[in-house]
């Protein structure tokens, strides 16, 4: 079952913040976050496995709620290099990865 | 972490023909995944390929249209058969790196255009 991802698109100025959400109707085994730049393959950013987990990578971080049904990706002080489409991917135990519809992030100077 | 070589990177094919896409991984992996991504869209799982067994197809994808081979733990092919313009898309293979690195690694993709 495909997770629900929002918003569909975000336009930011350099230095601004953004939040991307990913939710499922059922508890998940894990949530992955990926970034895909135009014409390239998706690149893994991070995985969250535990309810209540928060994880950061430079100025990009993510959380996974206690019920393991919602995750958010936080991009702070955005840079031009953050532009791309962000996908969450969700796994349920014994199942394969399903991807959200994607959030197109544009960072302008 | 694992590296996947995927080819061809792109192709333009006549309708009714078939194209075979290859993925080579630089390490042994149990499962390989094949995804389709239409322009501006998300990734849709086509099938999961295990070595030594039949591939498992997702709803809407059938073996006759997308036959998959998995002859060993480092290689897989996906064939798009009897192509129509609706098959124009990007096809990607992927592996799950598993613990401790986690995350999926993708091949560079095959951009297919059917005319």
Q: Which domains does chain A have, with CATH numbers?
A: 4-108 (2.60.40.10)
How far is the first Cα of chain B from the last one, in angstroms, to the nearest whole number?
37
Q: B39 vs chain A: nearest CA distance in angstroms?
A: 10
For residue B8, give Cα distances in angstroms to A89, B31, B67. 26, 21, 17
Q: B89, B95, B94, B115: which is closest to B10 by C-alpha? A: B89
pLDDT averaged over every residue in chain B: 94
Which residue among B42, B103, B105 places its CB closest to the CB of A47? Answer: B103
Quickly state the pLDDT bin for A94 (edges 50, 70, 90). low
What pLDDT, on a 0 to 100 scale, did the predictor assign at position A68?
Answer: 85
**Using CA atoms, how far apart are residues B58 and B68, in angstroms rounded to an integer?**
13
pLDDT in tens, B30-56: 899 999 999 889 999 999 998 888 899
What pLDDT, on a 0 to 100 scale, did the predictor assign at position A91?
Answer: 87
Q: B19 vs chain A: nearest CA distance in angstroms?
A: 20
pLDDT in tens, B92-109: 999 988 887 788 999 999
What pLDDT, on a 0 to 100 scale, did the predictor assign at position A86?
Answer: 98
Domain spans of chain B?
Answer: 18-98
What pLDDT, on a 0 to 100 scale, did the predictor assign at position B15?
Answer: 97
C-beta separation of B63 from B57 below 8 A: yes
CATH number of B18-98: 2.60.40.10
B11 vs A57, higher pLDDT: B11
């Amino acid at each position: 079952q495909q997770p629900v991802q929002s918003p569909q698109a975000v336009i930011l100025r350099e230095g601004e913040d953004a939040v991307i959400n990913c939710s499922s109707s059922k508890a998940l085994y894990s949530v992955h976050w990926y970034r895909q730049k135009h014409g390239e393959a998706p690149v893994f950013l991070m995985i969250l496995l535990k309810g209540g987990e928060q994880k950061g990578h430079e100025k990009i971080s993510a959380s996974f709620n206690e019920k393991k049904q919602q995750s958010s990706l936080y991009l702070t002080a955005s840079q031009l290099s953050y532009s791309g489409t962000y996908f969450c991917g969700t796994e349920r135990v014994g199942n394969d990865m399903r991807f959200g519809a994607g959030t197109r992030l544009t960072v302008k100077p | 972490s694992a590296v996947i070589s995927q080819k061809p990177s792109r192709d333009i094919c006549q309708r009714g023909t078939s194209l075979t896409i290859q993925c080579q991984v630089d390490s042994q992996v149990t499962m390989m995944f094949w995804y389709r991504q239409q322009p501006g869209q998300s990734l849709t799982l086509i099938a999961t390929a295990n070595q030594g067994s039949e591939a498992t197809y997702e709803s809407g994808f059938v073996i006759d249209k997308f036959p998959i081979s998995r002859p060993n733990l480092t290689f897989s092919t996906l064939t798009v058969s009897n192509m129509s313009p609706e098959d124009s898309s990007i096809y990607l293979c992927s592996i799950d790196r598993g613990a401790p690195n986690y995350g999926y690694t993708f091949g560079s993709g095959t951009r297919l255009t059917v005319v």
